[in-house]
Amino acid sequence: MSIDDSILAEVFKDISFSSEETTLIESKFEKIELTKGIILLRADETVLNQYYVQKGCLRTYYIDSKGKEHTLQFAINDWWISDYTAYFSSTKAIMNIECIQDATLYKISKKNIDRLIQETPRLETFFRKKMEKAFASFQKRILASLSQSAKERYITFRSSYPNIDQSIKNYHVASYLGITTESLSRIRKELTHS
């Protein structure tokens, strides 16, 4: 078997499969181990895959015209990661994906996802709902950026990723919040002194 016994149960936790289905689905995933620092995807590459994160931590980031990095999201246990805009529209990546803490991923190609969905229509519901959740979390993020100060956004961030601190450098958090490392440092100081 190409992947762990347990992984299917983990990825598709709310769905049960027959043993033929299980075999079929498992054959489409490939296990990948990454070490910290590895770049999984670079801007301008073609995006053929998405990845389920079993453990570790990755981030997707965008490099703007001035060379500055902006983190779109972190992915930890049970999240999926890819440059979805490029993945869905079959265009080249504008995002980069970096492993920031040694990770175990399960990779699946777009072609194989499309096949799986055809063969097992329940999976389409799964992927639709996954997208709905991701959409909702992006909506929250937009509303936060419209209505909150940097300090408030940092507090929100910490409560939505309570245990992520260990894996993530402050300059990554700053680039996620849309502020500089200096500003984040001052915010953190303020928060500890109160």
Partner DNA sequence: CGCGACGTTGATTTGCCTCAACGATTGTGG
Partner DNA sequence: CCACAATCGTTGAGGCAAATCAACGTCGCG
Region binding DNA by CB under 7 A among candidate stretches 19-27, 123-131, 137-145, 164-172: 164-172
Question: Under DSSP, is residue 73 helix (H, G, I), strand (E, B) or coil?
Answer: strand
188 lies in the binding site for DNA (CB under 7 A): yes
What distance in Å separates the CA atoms of residue 119 and residue 156, rounded to the nearest whole number? 41
Region binding DNA by CB under 7 A among candidate stretches 9-17, 109-117, 122-130, 170-178: 170-178
178 lies in the binding site for DNA (CB under 7 A): yes
Specify the DSSP element, H or E, that contains 69.
strand 69-75
149 lies in the binding site for DNA (CB under 7 A): yes
Toward DNA, which CB reaches closer, 118 or 149?
149
Q: Give me the 41-70 binding string for a second copy, x by CB under 8 A, dash otherwise.
A: ---------------------x-x---x-x
Considering only residues 142, 163, 182, 193, which one is a binding residue for a second copy as defined by CB under 8 A?
A: 142
Question: Under DSSP, is residue 99 helix (H, G, I), strand (E, B) or coil?
Answer: strand
What distance in Å separates the CA atoms of residue 186 and residue 168, rounded to the nearest whole number? 18
What distance in Å separates the CA atoms of residue 178 and residue 142, rounded to the nearest whole number? 12
89 lies in the binding site for a second copy (CB under 8 A): yes
Toward DNA, which CB reaches closer, 119 or 165?
165
Pairing verdict, β 69-75 and 95-109: unpaired
Cβ-Cβ contacts under 8 Å for 37 (sequence gap 6 or more)? 98, 99, 100
141 lies in the binding site for DNA (CB under 7 A): no
* Closest distance of CB 74 from DNA, Å: 14
